[in-house]
């Protein structure tokens, strides 16, 4: 069944337009997957990231890019979706002490649930998400135990999972520092200038340079040279 005529296996990647998901998408492409990217318009403050996601999708060579619209504003409860200020100028200590206000309730559970549906319809058994230890900074749904629990759920929740037991979540950045992610992105040929990480950019897409995401990104680029 192998050989040059074999169809590539398909994978679905969550693509936000940020650094981490761009590198994850490129990593899946290098692994030989035909990659289907999924982004969300979820009432986030930083919707310019969707334009970045579209540019990144094209540059890394995904085969399809779907944007799903959902309304997390109907529930509120996060600085990324409600009228709460995004924290600025925090020290690394402040960023890692507890779950930050930029936490969006159950966001990665919702995103992965849609990715699972998309994967099943496209015949994909592999899902990619750009969570990592540094970007964790308190988000419970970026931890390895969350990812493992979702992978288990996925194999119980779907026809594809029940019939194959082979649905797999890929988190290639899980143990990497931001600097290592930047280096991996360069190695994979990702045009990192297309990505945007800021939680609170200006309407023209200019990053604020002061939120947690900007701080983590700047440190990563500095350390990677």
Helices marked H in 80-143 — which ranges? 92-96, 107-122, 133-136
Which of 49, 135, 141, 212 is close enough to bind its own copies by CB under 8 A? 141
Measured between alpha carbons, how far is residue 55 from residues 24, 60, 134, 175, 210 in Å?
15, 9, 25, 26, 24
Which of 99, 166, 186, 222 is close enough to bind its own copies by CB under 8 A? 99
Which region among 19-27, 127-135, 146-154, 189-197 touches its own copies (by CB under 8 A)? 146-154
Is 44:3 a contact under the CB 8 Å cutoff? no
Which of 2, 4, 7, 69 is close enough to bind its own copies by CB under 8 A? 69
Nearer to its own copies, 112 or 182 (CB): 112
Closest CA to 21 of 42, 1, 5, 37: 37
Q: How many residues lie near its own copies (CB under 8 A)?
A: 45
Nearer to its own copies, 57 or 190 (CB): 57
Contact between 23 and its own copies by CB under 8 A: the answer reads no
Burial of 145 from C-beta contacts in 10 A (0-12 / 13-18 / 19+) = exposed
Contact between 223 and its own copies by CB under 8 A: the answer reads no
In angstroms, the first-to-last Cα distance of the chain is 44
- 163-222 residues near its own copies, rule: CB under 8 A: none
Nearer to its own copies, 33 or 40 (CB): 40
For residues 8 and 86, what is the distance between their CA atoms, to the nearest angstrom?
A: 42
Is 24:129 a contact under the CB 8 Å cutoff? yes
Chain positions contacting its own copies, by CB under 8 A: 66, 68-72, 74-77, 99, 103-110, 112-114, 116-118, 120-122, 140-141, 143, 145-146, 149-150, 152-154, 156-162
């Amino acid at each position: 069944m192998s050989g040059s005529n074999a169809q590539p296996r398909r994978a679905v990647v969550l693509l936000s337009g940020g650094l981490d998901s761009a590198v994850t998408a490129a990593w899946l492409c290098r692994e030989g997957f035909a990659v289907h990217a999924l982004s969300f318009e979820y009432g986030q403050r930083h919707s310019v990231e969707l334009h970045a996601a579209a540019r990144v999708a094209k540059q890394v060579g995904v085969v399809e890019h779907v944007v799903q619209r959902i309304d997390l504003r109907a529930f509120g409860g996060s600085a990324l979706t409600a009228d709460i200020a995004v924290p600025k100028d925090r020290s690394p200590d402040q960023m890692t002490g507890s779950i930050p206000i930029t936490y969006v309730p159950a966001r990665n559970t919702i995103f992965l649930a849609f990715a699972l549906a998309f994967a099943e319809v496209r015949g994909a058994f592999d899902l990619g998400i750009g969570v990592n230890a540094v970007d964790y900074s308190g988000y419970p749904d970026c931890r390895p135990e969350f990812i493992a629990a979702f992978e288990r759920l996925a194999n119980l929740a779907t026809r594809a999972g029940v019939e194959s037991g082979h649905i797999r979540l890929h988190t290639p950045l899980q143990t990497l520092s931001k600097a290592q992610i930047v280096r991996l992105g360069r190695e994979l040929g990702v045009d990192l200038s297309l990505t945007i990480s800021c939680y609170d950019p200006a309407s023209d897409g200019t990053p604020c340079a002061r939120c947690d995401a900007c701080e983590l990104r700047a440190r990563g680029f500095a350390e990677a040279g």
